[in-house]
């Protein structure tokens, strides 16, 4: 873990820093494109994606021949296929086109299913890399992208193909005199996702990390939200992983990280940027620290983002953007 900066470093505390932050895009093409467009519209200094790039589902499209395709029991032609592909991509759903033989072969082959999903994931992120390079390379707006708990580590290698995307996990990054610390692992979840650690391990690793920064000018870009805030309310699940319902209402509970909460209380950073819990679009305060979670509706193709203005070592303004 080290300290480095992108662009011209400034020690002028009066500098204003305009941030646009989003998280949990989960493969949604339209949400990602809206995010880049919003950054240009708001004339921000920096764009930050806080993790969970990977989609959650893949639909096989079977080539029936003669220009016909089967999509979950519905037959479409070549023109209809393009519409289906766009619709799925905007919802964050992957797809793979295959013939009948290939489709039959993968039915009981988990290894082949996983490989198809992996390739679809890589292709979607690579597509985003190309889009980001095209739209941002002449604007001078850096795009900091991290992986979240749902993202396999090999996606870092795809992100490195970009000319504008900066990977910052585990580093202390100077951004116009402010120091951003980035971390994508979360406390354990019921789904055993790729990037989870026990609270004790999180605390130990993160404490040695945050000690390298100046808390008064630090931005904690941690995927998991701090425990017991407005940012970490999620449905309480039963043993079958279904939401618990009482009196006709879904029961909610806090699921954030106790370690991150403890570190916030101990170090009092300037700002906390978080995601992970899609249902908890909210801001809160832990001591003097403002913490934000923009939430996510990736499956609807809706962008959720937070616009934050830092000035003179304080959070001058913040607002949520939905579109």
Domains of the chain, by residue range, sit at 3-56+120-322, 57-106
Per-residue model confidence (pLDDT) at position 15: 79
**pLDDT value at position 10?**
39
Q: What pLDDT score does 180 carry?
A: 98
Looking at residue 6, what is its pLDDT? 35
Specify the DSSP element, H or E, that contains 184. none
CA angle 192-211-310, nearest 5°? 90
CATH 3.60.21.10 fits 3-56+120-322, yes or no: yes
Per-residue confidence in pLDDT tens, the chain, 323 aa: 333 333 333 344 457 999 999 999 999 999 999 999 999 999 999 999 999 999 999 999 999 999 999 999 999 999 999 999 999 999 999 999 999 999 999 999 999 999 999 999 999 999 999 999 999 999 999 999 999 999 999 999 999 999 999 999 999 999 999 999 999 999 999 999 999 999 999 999 999 999 999 999 999 999 999 999 999 999 999 999 999 999 999 999 999 999 999 999 999 999 999 999 999 999 999 999 999 999 999 999 999 999 999 999 999 999 999 99
Q: Are strands 143-145 and 93-99 parallel, antiparallel or unpaired?
A: unpaired
Please report the pLDDT score of residue 88 as a whole number: 97
**HEC letters along 280-299:** CCEEEEECCEEEEECCCEHH
Q: What is the pLDDT of residue 4?
A: 32
Helices (H) and strands (E) counted in the chain, each on its own, are 7, 21
**What global pTM score does this model have?**
0.93
- Please report the pLDDT score of residue 14 as a whole number: 52
What are the backbone dihedrals phi and psi of residue 91, each rounded to the nearest 5 degrees, phi first? -90, 0
Which of 79, 113, 75, 109 minimizes the C-alpha distance to 94?
113
């Amino acid at each position: 873990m080290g300290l480095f900066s992108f662009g011209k470093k400034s020690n002028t505390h009066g500098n204003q820093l305009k941030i646009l932050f989003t998280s949990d895009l989960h493969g949604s093409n339209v949400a990602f494109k809206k995010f880049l467009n919003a950054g240009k519209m708001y004339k921000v200094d920096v764009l930050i994606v806080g993790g969970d790039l990977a989609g959650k589902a893949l639909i096989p499209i079977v080539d029936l021949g003669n220009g016909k395709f089967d999509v979950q029991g519905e037959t479409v032609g070549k023109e209809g296929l393009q519409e289906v592909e766009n619709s799925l991509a905007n919802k964050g759903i992957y797809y793979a086109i295959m013939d009948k033989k290939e489709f039959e072969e993968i039915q009981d082959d988990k290894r082949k299913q996983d490989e198809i999903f992996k390739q679809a994931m890589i292709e979607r992120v690579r597509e985003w890399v190309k889009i980001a390079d095209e739209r941002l390379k002449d604007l001078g707006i850096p795009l900091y992208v991290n992986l979240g708990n749902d993202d396999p580590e090999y996606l870092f290698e795809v992100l490195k193909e970009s000319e504008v995307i900066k990977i910052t996990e585990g580093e202390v990054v100077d951004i116009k005199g402010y120091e951003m610390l980035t971390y994508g692992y979360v406390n354990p979840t019921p789904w055993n996702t790729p990037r989870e650690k026990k609270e004790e391990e999180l605390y130990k690793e993160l404490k040695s990390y945050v000690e390298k920064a100046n808390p008064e000018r630090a931005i904690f870009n941690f995927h998991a939200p701090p425990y017991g805030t407005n940012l970490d309310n999620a449905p309480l699940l039963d043993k079958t992983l279904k939401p618990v319902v009482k009196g006709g209402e879904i029961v909610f509970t806090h699921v954030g990280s106790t370690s991150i909460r403890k570190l916030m209380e101990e170090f009092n950073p300037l700002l906390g940027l978080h995601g992970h819990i899609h249902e908890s679009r909210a801001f809160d305060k832990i001591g003097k620290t403002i913490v934000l979670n923009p939430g996510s509706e990736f499956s609807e193709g809706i962008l959720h983002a937070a616009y934050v203005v830092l000035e003179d070592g304080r959070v001058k303004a913040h607002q949520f953007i939905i579109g």
